Amino acid sequence: MAAQGECNCGAVAFEISAAISEVFVCHCSICRRYSGGNGIAVVVISNESFRWLRGENQIATWKKPDADWHAWFCRVCGSALPGPNDASRMFVPAGLISTGGEALKVTQHIWVGSKAVWDEIADAGKQHQEAFTD
């Protein structure tokens, strides 16, 4: 079953054709500032499994100066949007998924070594002090 999602205002929407179940939560300071919370929860999928349904012209991006980090967001409502994770995969903010995400579960926490002091991880997801390693 395909999963679908959209931004807060609905201007941007997408579809994921692959089965999704794993959620990765990044606790780094950049993702905390980006989300305004304890980090950002994402699903990572192959590029071939992702398709924009509408609103590509509403996507804005910002590059953090002096870092290899980009933010993709809706230029109408500001919602965080999917973007390239690497050359072959996309990251999709898990909170955008509106249908087809029933099997989602946090399985990995990354950059735990830089999490906020008030952030308490209470699930069974594997914790990585820095980036994800298999």
In whole numbers, what is the pLDDT of the chain averaged over residues?
A: 93
Q: What is the pLDDT of residue 69?
A: 81
Fold of 3-127: 2.170.150
* Tokens coding 23: 């959620």
Confidence of residue 1 (pLDDT cuts 50, 70, 90): low
% of the chain exceeding 70 in pLDDT? 98
Per-residue model confidence as pLDDT tens digits over 61-90: 998 888 778 899 999 999 999 999 889 999
Structural domain spans, the chain: 3-127
